[in-house]
Structures are given as structure tokens and as C-alpha cells.
């Protein structure tokens, strides 16, 4: 019984690793002004229910919460090579959680463009309902 449960859980995690392009992410990337193109999108995917639960119950101790509201969360992490990794968790149209990882060249670049990045993210992802 335990082996079957473990196998099903593993399959659920593996099948959830597809790339997903939400309307909010597409809008954010297309409307982001050139001034905040100091970042690159590393990956974007929809999280499984188990991954979402784990993220909410056990947030990463290596990341720092940058901004949070009911529509999205932004977490940052300095990397060994001096770059900054920014992870955005947001809800998709079908009420699933999407994770997008962006990379900034350096801590200085992140600090310089942080507010512009967050402002554009807010305009693109906030639910107007």
C-alpha cells in the first residue's frame, strides 16, 4: 500500500512539471518597459497541489519574502555568483499555482529595478474582479 501511494505521489509531481504560459505572465513580459528588461526568465510552470501545499506550509529558508498580496508572492534569493533569483508564485485562471523564476545580473541591478519590476508585476497579475 505504501509503495503504491509513493508511486502515485511521485507520478503526480513528475507530471506537473510542464511549462505553462498564463495570460498574466504573457502580459507582464510583453508590457514590461525596457528599463526593467535587466532580468531573464529562467522557467515557468504550474505547481501540483502537493507542491503548492508544501510551499505554503514550509516556505524556503533560503529565500526572502519581497512582496505578498492575495494575487501573488515574490521571493528573492542571492546566488553564489552574485546574481539574484526572484521567484513569483501566482494563481492561474484555473485557480492553480504558477511558479516563475527570474534572474537578475547582480544585487545592484535587482535593487535598481526592483520597484519597476514589482509595479509591472502588480499591473499584470492583480485580479480586477
Q: What is the dihedral of CA 4, 6, 8, 12, to 10 degrees?
A: 180
Structure confidence by residue, pLDDT tens digits, 94-125: 889 999 999 999 999 999 999 999 998 888 87
For 32, list phi and psi in degrees, rounded to 5. -60, 125
- What is the rounded average pLDDT of the residues 55-82? 92
- Domain region containing 83: 2-125
What is the pTM (predicted TM-score) of this model? 0.68
What's the total number of domains in the chain? 1
Average model confidence (pLDDT) across the chain: 78
Please state the rounded mean pLDDT for residues 2-29: 47
Amino acid at each position: 500500500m505504501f509503495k503504491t501511494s509513493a508511486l502515485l505521489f511521485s507520478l503526480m509531481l513528475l507530471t506537473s512539471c510542464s511549462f505553462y504560459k498564463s495570460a498574466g505572465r504573457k502580459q507582464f513580459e510583453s508590457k514590461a518597459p525596457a528599463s526593467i528588461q535587466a532580468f531573464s526568465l529562467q522557467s515557468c510552470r504550474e505547481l501540483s497541489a502537493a507542491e503548492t501545499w508544501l510551499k505554503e506550509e514550509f516556505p524556503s529558508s533560503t529565500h526572502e519574502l519581497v512582496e505578498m498580496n492575495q494575487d501573488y508572492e515574490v521571493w528573492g534569493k542571492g546566488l553564489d555568483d552574485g546574481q539574484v533569483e526572484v521567484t513569483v508564485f501566482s494563481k492561474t485562471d484555473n485557480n492553480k499555482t504558477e511558479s516563475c523564476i527570474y534572474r537578475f545580473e547582480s544585487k545592484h541591478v535587482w535593487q535598481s529595478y526592483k520597484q519597476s519590476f514589482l509595479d509591472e508585476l502588480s499591473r499584470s497579475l492583480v485580479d480586477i474582479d
